[in-house]
């Protein structure tokens, strides 16, 4: 057996225990219980929350920004502002960075993850957000494209309905907020298991996190993931993979990969990345 050169998953960024990052699989409930958005609002301070919305992934940033602003104002946030960044130079403008000073929560909307990255990656604004998230001063959330950008490696696009293969997924560089994971969103809804397996075959030092619609993987500072919402979070852990043909096969031929560990998690389940351990809620065990 070939031993894959899997690197250690020691976090490359330190997070404070208060760090909270909500990675949302898209299409979260905006009308009824609004559980995931309410959790973001509560974690951001509830009625003391000062929320910044980044709608830059969208081609209709004004409309989508206003929609989320109305929701968080309706919940009773102290302040909601929209960081309607449409050009890269805006991320270098001190005015926008000052806007973050009092912020307790930042929400990145859906749209196109490539657009979001091209506007924000490596800007002083993004670096400031990252620092405040790591310190636990800001709660960060991203949905759909806003979720896809979380990893260092990002899925830019891809297909379904095929055997896993290298051309099934387009990889690029994300914002690196959660560098140890590769996020895929609308996961089972859009049948993305084969593309996430393909992405992980090429990057066996990461962990695949597939998040269904109206579902959230809440990352906390110590590497704990907790599941919120109506669907599942699928963990694809290649830590024990002992063979893949990924380095040897051409782009369209199918991939072999042996010994993936897969977990399907639902509401309340927790997964601790550093120890790879799983926890089910106490009340479920006594059901």
User: Applying CB under 8 A, which residues contact a copy of itself?
Assistant: 1-2, 160-164, 188-191, 193-194, 197, 212, 215, 230-232, 236, 242-243, 245, 248, 253-266, 269, 278, 280, 284-285, 287
CB burial readout 267-282, b (16+ within 10 A) else e: bebbbebeeeeeeeee
Comparing CA positions, the residue from 139, 184, 20, 219 lying closest to residue 227 is 219
Cα separation, 247 vs 15, in Å, equals 33
CB of 260 to a copy of itself, least distance (A): 4
Comparing CA positions, the residue from 134, 123, 95 lying closest to residue 13 is 134
CB of 48 to a copy of itself, least distance (A): 34
Which residue has tokens 């696009």?
157
Catalytic-labelled residue, pool 56, 58, 186, 198: 186
* Residues 40 and 68: beta-carbon distance below 8 Å: no
Cα separation, 30 vs 67, in Å, equals 9
* Residues 264 and 232: beta-carbon distance below 8 Å: yes
Catalytic-labelled residue, pool 44, 58, 144, 198: 144
Catalytic-labelled residue, pool 16, 162, 263, 272: 162
246 is catalytic: no
CB of 218 to a copy of itself, least distance (A): 16
Q: Which one, 31 or 285, has the nearer CB to a copy of itself?
A: 285
CB of 195 to a copy of itself, least distance (A): 10
144 is catalytic: yes
Q: Which one, 120 or 255, has the nearer CB to a copy of itself?
A: 255
162 is catalytic: yes
Q: Which residues are catalytic?
A: 144, 162, 186
């Amino acid at each position: 057996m070939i031993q894959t050169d899997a690197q250690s998953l020691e976090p490359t960024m330190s997070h404070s225990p208060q760090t909270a990052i909500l990675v949302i699989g898209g299409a979260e409930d905006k009308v009824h219980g609004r559980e995931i958005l309410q959790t973001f609002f509560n974690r951001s301070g509830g009625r003391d929350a000062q929320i910044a919305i980044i709608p830059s992934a969208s081609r209709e940033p004004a409309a989508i920004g206003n929609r989320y602003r109305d929701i968080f104002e309706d919940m009773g946030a102290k302040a909601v502002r929209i960081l309607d960044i449409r050009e890269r130079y805006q991320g270098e403008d001190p005015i926008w960075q000052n806007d973050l000073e009092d912020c307790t929560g930042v929400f990145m909307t859906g749209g196109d993850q490539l657009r979001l990255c091209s506007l924000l990656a490596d800007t002083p604004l993004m670096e400031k957000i990252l620092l405040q998230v790591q310190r636990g001063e800001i709660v960060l959330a991203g949905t759909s494209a806003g979720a896809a950008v979380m990893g260092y490696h990002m899925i830019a696009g891809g297909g379904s309905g095929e055997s896993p293969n290298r051309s099934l997924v387009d990889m690029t560089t994300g914002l690196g907020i959660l560098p140890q994971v590769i996020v895929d969103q609308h996961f089972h809804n859009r049948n993305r298991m084969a593309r996430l397996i393909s992405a992980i075959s090429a990057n066996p030092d990461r962990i695949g996190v597939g998040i269904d619609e109206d579902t959230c993987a809440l990352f906390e500072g110590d590497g704990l993931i907790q599941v919120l919402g109506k669907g599942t979070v699928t963990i694809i852990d290649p830590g024990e993979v002992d063979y893949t043909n990924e380095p040897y096969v051409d782009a369209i031929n199918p991939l072999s990969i042996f010994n993936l560990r897969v977990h399907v998690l639902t509401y309340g389940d927790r997964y601790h990345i550093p120890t790879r351990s799983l926890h089910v809620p106490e009340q479920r065990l006594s059901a």
